[in-house]
Structure 1
């Protein structure tokens, strides 16, 4: 998957161990991890372990690449069992690339293919901390609907958080 953005090309591909140095750029940045469920990485060994144990076996985890180099990641995690019609999207991007429309474009690429790749999905969800206005704007630009606030939804980094839930249905207009 590829798209043009400014002076570079955006693409999605698998993230692998060869990408560890690029991964560590955003994974060690406190500004990037602020709204993430994971803590800021402090060692390359932690990053390697994460890629080996979480990223590689994940059924849909992609690096967001700028001119072929990973600058972030995007994933879709499908539920199983009675709610397998739902999946959750999550994304992260190196702070150097914020505000350039890169995640908006990467997310558009995902939503234009994920319902074909995973036909059992009828709904794609995203949970965003109420204070993460930039991420909320990304979702709305791609066509997600803001459904509401989930008060004290989960504990993140030692405190309960209010989360905004967004959704996109498989019947969405794919011309975005």
Structure 2
């Protein structure tokens, strides 16, 4: 029997499982290079390319290595971004958090609201002790977002990823359960 996908509700948002019916909405932001470049992804060229992302979301959930929620506004229902965990290591009580949001919704506190809810869910339901965020040094808005949530910059991971034909440095941020309880 497959476990039921959890739904998270916040003041303005519903975070839910994405389906192939959401592919057109997701294409709107996954085809935008400004949205996907910090994720190390090439912009989607066709709606069909989004299906690969949806399949990945389903596979990490099924394998227990992560979970990715579609971000929707309560009054609209269409997916405008996603937030969730990847590289989850239950043995070590840690996971990496990732997120993206359609450019038209930047600067409205939506990513912050979603991230806070997902981090809280991770501590309460996955018994995580540590949540990490890997962020490009040039991605100042993302750094500000995680810092606002209580994440601390631990250091620079030199040549940590290979994307777009080059090696990228990434900042390692983390928040541990004890830090989160202080917020």
* 1:49 partnered with 2:52: yes
Q: In the alignment, which residue of structure 1 is the partner of 2:140?
A: 133
The answer to whether the 8 A contact 1:16-1:56 is kept is no
* 1:76 partnered with 2:85: yes
The answer to whether the 8 A contact 1:71-1:93 is kept is yes
The answer to whether the 8 A contact 2:89-2:95 is kept is no
Separation in structure 1 between the aligned mates of residue 155 and residue 107 of structure 2, nearest angstrom: 25
Do the aligned partners of residues 78 and 151 (structure 1) sit closer, same or farther apart at CA in structure 2, a change above 3 Å counting? closer
The answer to whether the 8 A contact 2:18-2:70 is kept is yes
If each structure's helix is expressed as a fraction of its own residues, which one has the higher value?
A: 2
Cα shift at 1:175: 6.3
TM-score with structure 2 length normalisation?
0.85
Do the aligned partners of residues 35 and 173 (structure 1) sit closer, same or farther apart at CA in structure 2, a change above 3 Å counting? closer
Cα shift at 1:78: 4.1
Separation in structure 2 between the aligned mates of residue 35 and residue 134 of structure 1, nearest angstrom: 11
| Unpaired runs of at least 5, structure 1 | none
Question: Which deviates more from structure 2 when the two are superposed, residues 94-103 or residues 72-81?
Answer: 72-81
Q: In the alignment, which residue of structure 1 is the partner of 2:154?
A: 147
Separation in structure 2 between the aligned mates of residue 153 and residue 29 of structure 1, nearest angstrom: 24
Cα shift at 1:12: 0.8
TM-score with structure 1 length normalisation?
0.88
| Unpaired runs of at least 5, structure 2 | 1-7, 62-66
The answer to whether the 8 A contact 1:78-1:84 is kept is no
Q: How many residues align?
A: 169
CA RMSD, 1 decimal = 1.7
Cα shift at 1:48: 1.9
The answer to whether the 8 A contact 2:40-2:163 is kept is yes
Separation in structure 2 between the aligned mates of residue 146 and residue 153 of structure 1, nearest angstrom: 16
